[in-house]
Structure 1
Amino acid sequence: MARRSDHSRDELYRLAIDAARDIVEADGFRALTARNVADVIGYSPGTLYNLFVNQDDMVMHVNGRTLDDLHDSLASVMPTGDVDADFALLLDTYLVFIKDNPGLWHMLFNYTLSEGHEIPEWYGRKVKGLLGIVESVLSPLFANNDGDKLSAESRVLWAGLHGITALSDTGKLSLVSGQSTREMAQMLVANYIAGIRARQSVRK
């Protein structure tokens, strides 16, 4: 590792985020503290607070990197216009990402921000970007270019998938079904897409 004086602010930021991610994957997000990150990168804890406002801010930035990685993974699925096949591939990519990043995924949805800490706009834009990928896959079902409806349907389906993966993450999925996470998610997607088609047909 370079001497401390050789690290720019951007380099320190990347070092801190990388170290934080390693800690979360190895020991869970409760082990993520400024002191633990500082120990890994060889700086004082005070240095971390020159990069992040507080613990919540550090977590948001780590989660932001996770969202970026998820976006890159999902964006590798190029829509062909075959909604069923495209979403099946998108779903498998999504589930593989969760399997490969269990600690980071758990923190993404289970870390509770302190009271009064608002979600920053940049974070909201990252989430919107993910939803945009879902919309791009579902868009062939909306020939009338109903953007509002496409957006709403995409968000409901995404939320439903998260519900299944959240139950799986906490080990509670078996309480509601004997099916695997993938089987339940596939059923949800198939039924929801069929429902969209039925609703669109009624409107014609």
Structure 2
Amino acid sequence: MSKALERRARMREALIEAAERAIAARGLSGLKTRKLAQEIGVANGGVYNLVEDVDELILRVGSRTLARLDASLSLAEISGPATPREMLARIAVAYCDFAADNLELWRALFEHRMQPGKPVPEWAVTEQMDLFRHIYKPLAVLFPQRSATQLGVTARSLFSAVHGMVALGLEQKLIAVPLNALRQEIATLTRAMIDGLTAKRD
């Protein structure tokens, strides 16, 4: 790699890291390309020599967030033996903990909207969908008779329920719930959903 390409790669990484800090501190509304340019020492328009546009910059920050979420869920999986039911409850609580610890970055994953008419890049979709494997694997053990498509629908339904509880529970302006209570409720909900699905199967 030439020195020019190496420098561009370093500047690009510095830009993404600066954007990550800005979002973590102030949310998506705090992301200002002019300030980012000043922080990494490039001209105002220099940001767009490093990323295609703001959408790509936000998605690159989201990629880093998803990687850390993936690591957190993986850690929950290996923290000790558990039945598939308890593993799903453990993963759900780990998701809640990650959201609480990385609130603005986590929110940005769901609040960001692409420019009208611009699709989400395939690489970003793939990263998002890959995280469902944490839910899919224990569900596949619980419901071996289900097809991959059916398991995928169940995994998304379970995620949606847990995500909704986390989103509302952490919302400070509406019905914020103490974190310990929220964690307990999420674990209880997850177990109840699995019990219901298991009973329906039988």
Q: Which consecutive unaligned segments of at least 5 residues does structure 1 have?
A: none
Distance of aligned partners of 1:7 and 1:90 in 2 relative to their CA distance in 1, 3 Å threshold: same
- Matched residues in 2 for 1:44 and 1:5: separation? 17
Q: Secondary structure at the match of 1:70?
A: helix
Q: Secondary structure at the match of 1:11?
A: helix
Kindly indicate whether residue 40 of structure 2 is the aligned counterpart of residue 41 of structure 1. yes
Partner of 1:60: 59
Q: Secondary structure at the match of 2:132?
A: helix
Moved more, 165-174 or 102-111: 165-174
Moved more, 15-24 or 137-146: 137-146
TM-score normalised per structure 1: 0.85
Query: Structure 1 residue 112: deviation in Å?
Result: 2.8
Q: Which runs of 4+ in 1 moved over 4 A?
A: 4-7
Partner of 1:129: 130
TM-score normalised per structure 2: 0.85
Do the aligned partners of 2:24 and 2:102 also contact (CA within 8 Å) in 1? yes
Aligned-pair identity in percent equals: 28
- Output one character per residue of 1:15-74: Cα deviation in whole Å (capped at 9) or x when no partner: 111111111112222111211211221222322101222112211111121112111211
Amino acid at match of 1:15: A
Do the aligned partners of 1:33 and 1:55 also contact (CA within 8 Å) in 2? no
- Matched residues in 1 for 2:176 and 2:18: separation? 36
Partner of 2:196: 195
Across the aligned residues of Structure 1 and Structure 2, the Cα RMSD in angstroms comes to 2.5
Count of aligned positions: 196
Query: Structure 1 residue 7: deviation in Å?
Result: 4.9
- Matched residues in 1 for 2:176 and 2:19: separation? 33
- Matched residues in 2 for 1:191 and 1:125: separation? 30
Q: Which consecutive unaligned segments of at least 5 residues does structure 2 have?
A: none
